[in-house]
Chains A and B, each alone.
Chain A
Amino acid sequence: MSSPKQGILALEDGSIFRGIAFGADATITGECVFNTSMTGYQEIITDPSYFGQIVTMTAPQIGNYGITAEDDESRLPVCAGLVVRELSPIVSNWRGQIGLHDYLLKYGIPGLSEIDTRALTKKLRVEGAMKCCLSTLPISDEEAVRLAKTGRDIKGADYVKEVSAKEPYIWHPDDPKNYNAPFLPVGTTMNAPGIPAKRFRVAAFDFGAKHTIFRKLIRHGFDVQVFPSTYTAEQINEYKPDAVFLSNGPGDPAALPYIHKTVSALLPNYPIFGICLGHQMLTHALGGTTYKLKFGHRGGNQPVKNLETGKVSITAQNHGFATDARSIEKAGGKVTEINLNDGTVEGLRHTSLPVFSVQYHPEAAPGPNDADPLFVDFYKMIEARKAGKI
């Protein structure tokens, strides 16, 4: 047996997990979080919201189906590191293009396998998300723990500027590399609703947006112009959009005052829809506050109840911060959806303006598509606005 290369994960509390190295040779630090999705590791590692984080997959068999370009959620994978129980030695799927190891190697991301991810997850659940150091290089335990402790704190960190688009650009509906068509196997149509004939112009802020959000906007009748996070309300006005979209993104939502200000300025003038960090930006723009959750919600099975309809959707989530319910009610917002597991805020809307947002990911990828109709709601909201009804 050729002895496999060892790797180490050190947590800031001094605990050490040893495993087998894969992906790139590197030593990195970041916040260690766990994701409970059973599928979708590719979408997770390419979701810019994981910037600066080391993702532990609770599902034990990872890499089985490989990596395929159309499932990427950004141009590059941006998570800091990946921790798994077992890495597949082969790719077995009709769409698979390359293996997970090769992919991470290509982008310089280190991974660890044969870690007791359940023990790690329980630790994070009990003690909360922690700073950690993952190394696939020879490094002493003490050094790794020291690096973990001195790693950057996510609280107060502006990670958005690291992952946001540098320049505005159009998300082309016809560019094959954008994979805008819904994924359906040959022979299956599932009677997908047609794209509305009338298209609306949406100014989409990229705080670290997942590409499927743009794909879904295209499919639901929007022309998508993407803007960097630093763009001001005036710059957006110049584009003359029908509506504004606020994307997901990484880091602490409280550490982004410049975005809060921009969104505040846009509020009275446009229908606005926000997702994840976008929801938190709306919270702050309205005058509410956010706080850090102990270990966050990351997975594809989170039950969210819509307080207005009483219906529960199973949603995809990835967030470590949440909107403070009381703060938002005080600021004139209305909590519309809550997480049934812990009662945290999952959706809000403005009491008078056509503005709403959700903490979860209606674009799925990975995760359930149950909340897809929110894009329709957004479209209808703009129609109503145009018709002078709101």
Chain B
Amino acid sequence: MPKRTDLQSILIIGAGPIVIGQACEFDYSGTQACKALKEEGYRVILVNSNPATIMTDPEFADVTYIEPLTVPMLEKIIEAEKPSALLPTLGGQTALNLSMELHKAGILQKHGVEMIGAKPEAITKGEDRETFKQAMLKIGLDVARSATVKSMEEARAAAEKLGTFPLIIRPSFTLGGQGGGIAYNKEEFERIVANGIDISPVHEVLVEECLLGWKEYEIEVMRDRKDQCVVICSIENFDPMGVHTGDSITVAPAMTLTDKEYQVMRDASFAVIREIGVETGGSNIQFAVDPVTGRMVVIEMNPRVSRSSALASKATGFPIAKIAAKLAVGYTLDELKNDITRVTPASFEPTIDYVVTKIPRFTFEKFPDADSALTSAMKSVGEAMAIGRTFKESFQKCLRSLETGARGFGGGGGKWGGDELPDDQIIKQKLGTPNAERVYYIRYAFLAGYTVEQIFNITKIDRWFLTQLQEIIQMEQDLKKQTLADIDAFTLRRAKQFGFSDAQLAHILKSDLATVRAHRKKIGVNTTYRLVDTCAAEFEAFTPYYYSSYGDENEILPPKGKRKIMILGGGPNRIGQGIEFDYCCVHASFALREAGFETVMVNSNPETVSTDYDTSDRLYFEPLTLEDVLEIYQQEGCEGAIVQFGGQTPLNLATALKANGVNIIGTSPESIEAAEDRKLFSAILNKTGLKSPAHRTALTEADALAAANEIGFPVLLRPSFVLGGRGMFIVYTEEEFKNVVRQAFDVMPDKPVLIDKFLEDAIELDVDCISDGDTTVIGGMLEHIEFAGVHSGDASMVMPPHTLGKAMLQTVREATKALARELNVIGLMNVQFAIKDNQLYVLEVNPRASRTVPFVAKAIGIPLAKLAAKVMTGAKLKDLGFTREQTPKHWCVKEAVFPFVRFPGATITLSPEMRSTGEVMGLDEDLGIAFAKAQAAAKPGLPTSGNVFLSVKDSDKTRAVELARQLETLGFAIYSTSGTAQHLADNGVKVNRLAKINEGRPTAVDMIKNGQIQLIINTPGGMIPRKDENKIRSAAYAHSVCIMTTITGAQAAVNGIKALLNKKVGVRPIQKYVGNVQLV
């Protein structure tokens, strides 16, 4: 069946900001979908509030709205654009839920918009647990025994009926299993159920038979409108049931199913997609299998493209999102070609001759107070994927891709690879409770003499996987008895085939990286590259998508005769290093291809656009370590490598790569280092006549304290060479300093810590610029809404600056240009300034792509990263036509999105340590509206009526009175506790007093839970919020109440509310903002 001609325009809803459970995989899927539909001649209308996405680049859709993903905004867009259809399945749970809300509100029907891909009925059937369960039973599939309950009484009755603990509790309609948990006893049961009912938007939870320890599988299915179904990939979880699949180590294809068992699962998957009624596109179906009896139950299905489908696409080379988009407009699988083989159709099932391992990346170090046990609620922020010819190879490669300090699995020294064993008690505990480091404790357990059976009994991880791990350890032990000099080629090749990195071998063989590498080459154990071809070599493949292995054959396709540039990606997402850097890498590739280069992308993150096989000329799905990168560089014969776009990961490799002969193009590694090195940096500042806050470096805790006392509190304490403000603190007293100084040293052992005078109540400014060595042009200046001290990744920002005067901005411009010149920047540079008492201070200079580059590029409509990539290959800005700074005539507000709701107990505060996972952009002619849009996009949005809870630190009290008066005028009622309440009352504000927590009821928390508080203004007194403050903040996050934790943020919120009450909120696509700039 050909494509539908009755559709002219299609609306795609993106997934919004990056949050846990919904990361850049939806940029990947959305970008593919936009491309696929545009290619077919449809007018594509895209809405996404996340500016750091490739999909929101103006060329990917015909009309692109960077607007909040809310029903009212979407309705406005539908009114303006009148799309013929809505494709709801490519923007994650966010898009699916919004589409359902639009449907339920009658908006789609009113405007004649057809939902394509999945119909509302199918989505309801797939998403509503009870309906889904009944549907499964109807088609003869088994499900976990369970009951859906809406109250504690019903829950208790259900638990009674199911008979035994543990029980699983899953709140309905929450993302990524949020708010769920496993209850081992009645007490836990009551707690989790109460919280679950609370957090579920429909106040409903599922109480379920516990399948803890069962084997877990996922099947990725596609269906077309002729009812043709195919399985794209099967995935087996290494971690058995009990750990959210997003937090599990997963392996493709399934490893321990016989054909009969697999075919039953395949047939069941088709039965599910048909019964649920997903007409076209992809779905993900999860199964659990009892390892003893083989009983198979359906866990759930996602009637949409998911994180797993992104993984399946990267694992097989089958572009699920692209094909799903084409199927949605009427094509059938047999009408579409397999891009990789070119001659065979898309109506087939990929078969792979390698093993893929995915390991999640956690950032518990950012939330030290949160529970780090892995459960059915997802907590990871990113993932790495690795491909190897065997499980062992892919597993070890994946561990070193994670960048958590491990060089592999089998002892490679470094973190987790030592030979010293922890106490048996700790080993047992770490095996028994799933956690981010469990695999390393499995190694310790084997080394301590545990058998496969013993470890299986504690972990329930399949014996097959455990045996594989045991083989790696056995190899490690065997190698240990040898020396590098007498190791033969057979043994060394086998070790490499087991996935051992040169760094691991260097440690095991008591040698060093360079010597191992040299010896390996000398005896002819060379890296070979194999193709990901969807078909296990049955057909010729034309897509240069590679992974490394140690085999008989190297499949690198002949060069096209063009100059080759390598681009190093950012590896797994983590807080501080996410989609923004992938955005920059993708732009670099697009720009250099445009300029006639052949681009070679190296990355290990399956969620990204950079690892789409058609983003670059050649894609290497490989770990970003010196060994892996150098090998590719040399075998491909690249003439240069770009390290400044992928965040800290490639920067950390820059010096070593250069030492090994890699030509780092753009700003030199020395300059990058100079910006980090206090002494060199001070010299540069002196030369340019710029100031920085008083600062010292220290190598010991004692020196650090002395330095702090010398410059005077408050101080900013931080480690060197980190991204995302890891281990960074603002310290007000000597006592606090003593408490945290160790943590700062621990982040980067052997490196000094930096102590800076902290400038209180200073205005902070982020500046991004581009330089070609001769010309430096400012890309954008972003003024922070919060005072200095909040990490720039977490701060709200306004572009152009909203309070700074022309003269100061001119000073900033000159300072920026002077720094670029002094650091010989070729490419991008980001500078953070602070302004206090009309004095300009330089806080930090980063001669590389920054997190704000995509935001700035969207704000001014200039592809900064593309220009930078071209500049790095020698082009001049003059020739590229970008020589003058442009500032938008409209307002662009950036707001950050935080994962606190995922980490109950975590300290909720804005600080120099970055904790946000994503960002949104609010665009408008009016600053108040732009801010309000950013808030709405970041959720929950500003209220326009109701009650405000105000509780501020002493120094904010004067300003709090002003705020309270404005809020009163706007019709809000003010609630407060003791100190703040008294101060407000003394100043004539009508205030309702609430009890402090533990001092009576009702408290602010009670009112939040009852939905009686619409806005919270709460600024912390000390370095970290007090316990009771944190309770209020946690409650606010859990109940989606708007909260402001800085006084300047609160003022911006009040301005936003004023604007919402007095002005019209409109929508406008970014294509219509193009040219809305002023030349400076």
Nearest A residue to B230 via CB reads A314
A38–B352 CB distance below 8 A: yes
List A278-308 residues whose CB lies under 8 Å from chain B.
299-303, 305
B257–A65 CB distance below 8 A: yes
List B256-293 residues whose CB lies under 8 Å from chain A.
256-264, 266-268, 271, 289-293
B259–A366 CB distance below 8 A: yes
B537–A94 CB distance below 8 A: no
Partner pick for B266 among A119, A184, A191, A368, CB 8 A cutoff: A368
With known contacts A305-B334, A369-B267, A187–B297 Cβ distance under 8 A: yes
How far is A95 from B296 in the complex, measured between Cα atoms in Å?
14
How far is A95 from B256 in the complex, measured between Cα atoms in Å?
11
| Stretch from A84-92, A166-174, A328-336 at the B interface | A84-92
A122–B355 CB distance below 8 A: no
B256–A116 CB distance below 8 A: no
A40–B259 CB distance below 8 A: yes
How far is A43 from B536 in the complex, measured between Cα atoms in Å?
19
How far is A301 from B142 in the complex, measured between Cα atoms in Å?
27
Does A163 interact with chain B (Cβ within 8 Å)? no
Does A201 interact with chain B (Cβ within 8 Å)? no
How far is A43 from B259 in the complex, measured between Cα atoms in Å?
8
With known contacts A190-B140, A301-B348, A312-B347, A121–B296 Cβ distance under 8 A: no
Residues in A with CB closer than 8 Å to B253 are 38, 59
How far is A42 from B259 in the complex, measured between Cα atoms in Å?
9
Nearest A residue to B226 via CB reads A311
How far is A80 from B260 in the complex, measured between Cα atoms in Å?
24
Interface string of B583-615 (1 = CB under 8 A from A): 000000000000000000000000000000000
Does A385 interact with chain B (Cβ within 8 Å)? no
Among A17, A71, A184, A366, chain B packs the most CB atoms within 10 A around the CB of: A184
With known contacts A90-B464, A121-B537, A37–B351 Cβ distance under 8 A: yes
Residues in B with CB closer than 8 Å to A59 are 253, 351-353, 536
Does A359 interact with chain B (Cβ within 8 Å)? no
A116–B551 CB distance below 8 A: yes
B296–A187 CB distance below 8 A: yes
Partner pick for A188 among B291, B296, B478, CB 8 A cutoff: B296
Closest Cβ–Cβ distance, residue A251 to chain B (whole Å): 22
With known contacts A58-B537, A60-B354, A90–B344 Cβ distance under 8 A: no
Does A176 interact with chain B (Cβ within 8 Å)? no
B296–A185 CB distance below 8 A: yes
Does B333 interact with chain A (Cβ within 8 Å)? yes
With known contacts A188-B140, A191-B140, A61–B355 Cβ distance under 8 A: yes
A121–B264 CB distance below 8 A: no
A64–B255 CB distance below 8 A: yes
A119–B552 CB distance below 8 A: yes
How far is A118 from B292 in the complex, measured between Cα atoms in Å?
34
Does B345 interact with chain A (Cβ within 8 Å)? yes
Residues in B with CB closer than 8 Å to A368 are 263, 266, 349
B478–A1 CB distance below 8 A: yes
How far is A187 from B234 in the complex, measured between Cα atoms in Å?
22
Nearest B residue to A298 via CB reads B538
Does B696 interact with chain A (Cβ within 8 Å)? no
Does A344 interact with chain B (Cβ within 8 Å)? no
B347–A340 CB distance below 8 A: yes
Does A365 interact with chain B (Cβ within 8 Å)? yes
| Count of inter-chain pairs, beta carbons less than 8 A | 205
Does B294 interact with chain A (Cβ within 8 Å)? yes
Among B234, B389, B390, B552, chain A packs the most CB atoms within 10 A around the CB of: B552
With known contacts A116-B551, A310-B226, A367-B263, A301–B256 Cβ distance under 8 A: no
B141–A188 CB distance below 8 A: yes
With known contacts A118-B536, A185-B264, A367-B263, A61–B255 Cβ distance under 8 A: yes
Interface of B is mostly: loop
Residues in B with CB closer than 8 Å to A310 are 226
How far is A71 from B257 in the complex, measured between Cα atoms in Å?
12
Closest Cβ–Cβ distance, residue B339 to chain A (whole Å): 15
Partner pick for B334 among A122, A191, A300, A312, CB 8 A cutoff: A312
Does A186 interact with chain B (Cβ within 8 Å)? yes
Residues in B with CB closer than 8 Å to A312 are 226, 228, 332-334, 345, 347
Interface string of B316-360 (1 = CB under 8 A from A): 000000000000000011100000000111011111111100000
With known contacts A95-B258, A190-B139, A368-B263, A64–B464 Cβ distance under 8 A: yes
Nearest A residue to B348 via CB reads A303
Residues in A with CB closer than 8 Å to B333 are 312
Interface string of A62-106 (1 = CB under 8 A from B): 001100100100000000000001101110111100000000000
B351–A301 CB distance below 8 A: yes
Nearest A residue to B540 via CB reads A125
How far is A367 from B491 in the complex, measured between Cα atoms in Å?
37
B538–A39 CB distance below 8 A: no
A93–B352 CB distance below 8 A: no
Residues in A with CB closer than 8 Å to B551 are 116, 118-119
How far is A311 from B268 in the complex, measured between Cα atoms in Å?
20
B462–A92 CB distance below 8 A: yes
A341–B539 CB distance below 8 A: yes
Does A36 interact with chain B (Cβ within 8 Å)? yes
Residues in B with CB closer than 8 Å to A86 are 390
List B940-988 residues whose CB lies under 8 Å from chain A.
none
Residues in B with CB closer than 8 Å to A17 are 552
Does A140 interact with chain B (Cβ within 8 Å)? no
Closest Cβ–Cβ distance, residue A192 to chain B (whole Å): 8
With known contacts A58-B351, A89-B471, A303-B334, A183–B538 Cβ distance under 8 A: no
How far is A188 from B272 in the complex, measured between Cα atoms in Å?
13
Among B139, B259, B266, B467, chain A packs the most CB atoms within 10 A around the CB of: B259
How far is A300 from B551 in the complex, measured between Cα atoms in Å?
25
Does A189 interact with chain B (Cβ within 8 Å)? yes
Does B553 interact with chain A (Cβ within 8 Å)? yes
List B490-549 residues whose CB lies under 8 Å from chain A.
491, 530, 535-540
How far is A36 from B288 in the complex, measured between Cα atoms in Å?
26
How far is A88 from B391 in the complex, measured between Cα atoms in Å?
11
Interface string of B232-266 (1 = CB under 8 A from A): 00100000000000000000011111111111101
How far is A313 from B236 in the complex, measured between Cα atoms in Å?
25
Does B738 interact with chain A (Cβ within 8 Å)? no
Does B295 interact with chain A (Cβ within 8 Å)? yes
Nearest A residue to B266 via CB reads A368
A185–B261 CB distance below 8 A: yes
Does A364 interact with chain B (Cβ within 8 Å)? yes
Nearest A residue to B1 via CB reads A310
Among A118, A189, A191, chain B packs the most CB atoms within 10 A around the CB of: A118
Does A164 interact with chain B (Cβ within 8 Å)? no
B140–A300 CB distance below 8 A: no
B259–A71 CB distance below 8 A: yes
B296–A60 CB distance below 8 A: no
How far is A93 from B262 in the complex, measured between Cα atoms in Å?
12
Does A248 interact with chain B (Cβ within 8 Å)? no
How far is A60 from B551 in the complex, measured between Cα atoms in Å?
12
How far is A1 from B347 in the complex, measured between Cα atoms in Å?
47
Can you list 14 contacts pairing A with B, beta carbon distance less than 8 Å? A58-B538, A60-B355, A60-B389, A65-B258, A93-B257, A183-B261, A185-B261, A190-B141, A299-B536, A314-B347, A340-B344, A341-B348, A364-B263, A368-B263
Q: Which 5 A-B pairs have the closest CB atoms?
A: A40-B259, A187-B142, A366-B259, A189-B140, A92-B464
Beyond the given A90-B464, A188-B142, please list 20 additional residue pairs across the A-B interface where CB-CB is below 8 A.
A36-B535, A37-B351, A58-B537, A58-B538, A65-B258, A71-B259, A94-B294, A95-B294, A119-B551, A125-B538, A125-B539, A185-B142, A185-B293, A186-B294, A187-B142, A188-B140, A190-B139, A305-B334, A312-B333, A369-B266
Residues of A within 8 A of B (CB): 1, 17, 34, 36-40, 42-43, 58-61, 64-65, 68, 71, 85-86, 88-90, 92-95, 116-119, 121-122, 125, 183-192, 299-303, 305, 310-312, 314, 340-341, 364-369
Residues of B within 8 A of A (CB): 139-142, 226-228, 230, 234, 253-264, 266-268, 271, 289-297, 332-334, 343-345, 347-355, 389-391, 452, 462-464, 467, 471, 478, 491, 530, 535-540, 551-553
